[in-house]
Amino acid sequence: MYNIFEAPFVREMCDITSNMYRMGWDERNGGNISYRLKAEEVEAYLDTKRVLRTLPLDFDASFIRGEYFIVTGTGRYFKNIEKCPQNNMGIIRIGENGRSYDILWGFEDGGRPTSELPTHLMNHIARMKVDPENRVVMHCHPANVLAMTFVHDLDDKAFTKTLWQMCTECIIVFPEGVSVLPWMVCGNTEIGVATAEKIRDTRVVVWAQHGIFGTGKDIDETFGLIETVEKAAEIYIKIMGVPLKQTITDAQLAVLAKEFGVTPREGYLEN
């Protein structure tokens, strides 16, 4: 059995959480990540028959029964994960009945997975139905996206179009747009259901006055997606309230999409 501290997925989680902390997206315990692992990857580092604890799930996760995830801990600071991964995150496996999960590694000082686990798992289920290669769900609190939710219309189309207009790359990186949820209580299955409903159509869901959920097939892609949305929001916050002299027009966005072979969300660009 190899040393789990050298496992690529543990290293990746350490690197990305440190990076996200340095981006300023994850103050205190803000943010959480879940990363779906292949059974063979986990088996190379762990005896998967050795269950440390079993905890309940209050929704039906049978679609992902037997799936393994490495997930950050509730109340844990991203800045501390690299120093002590075994306390601040853990590896879980969804139970065969879809109503519980086993902890196989980590959370060594008595911790448990993020309070947003219901939203993470529901998002995995929703995205896997669209793209079986989806492996990552990432949540964080980037300042400019949050700021934008105070001053911008929260309509999905209006929010998306503003972001697309802020940087040329946006429509290429997220041609399907982003979705926005109004303010809700976090950490429960209700916000999980509402988020999963929207994440079917867009890999990004913004939670007004709270943060962002991004999904993707790997850590880099998901991080890059959030980074691009946050950069666009930053430009919006810098220019809002200032009379614009020019912008990227719908006609230009359409040319861009065609040139880069992406299909913009239907009905979002005016002809």
Question: What 8-state DSSP symbol labels residue 243?
Answer: P
230 catalytic? Reply is no
Which one of 184, 186, 193, 269 is in contact with ligand 13P (CB under 6 A)? 186
Cβ at position 26, least distance to ligand 13P in Å: 8
Q: Of residues 116, 176, 190, 197, which has the active-site annotation?
A: 116
**Applying CB under 6 A, which part among 30-38, 154-162, 226-234, 254-262 lies near ligand 13P?**
30-38
Instruction: Let me know: does 141 contact 214? Beta carbons within 8 Å.
Output: no
The only residue of 17, 32, 149, 202 in contact with ligand 13P, by rule CB under 6 A: 32
**Residue 95: contacted member of Zn ion, ligand 13P, none (CB under 5 to 8 Å, by partner type):** none
Binding status of residue 211 toward Zn ion by CB under 5 A: yes
- In the block, which residue shows the tokens 């009379």? 243
Which tokens belong to 229? Answer: 């949305």
Instruction: Give the C-alpha distances (Å, rounded to integers) separating 224 from 169, 231, 246.
Output: 12, 10, 27
Which amino acid, one-letter code, is at 199?
A: I
Residue 182 contact partner, candidates Zn ion, ligand 13P, none, CB within 5 to 8 A by sort of partner: none
- Which residues are CB-neighbours of 1 under 8 A, at least 6 positions away? 44, 45, 46, 47
Binding segment (CB under 6 A) for ligand 13P, from list 24-32, 37-45, 149-157, 172-180? 24-32
**Element of type H or E holding 207:** strand 204-207
By CB under 5 A, name the binding residues for Zn ion: 211
Question: Could you give the residue numbers annotated as active site?
Answer: 116
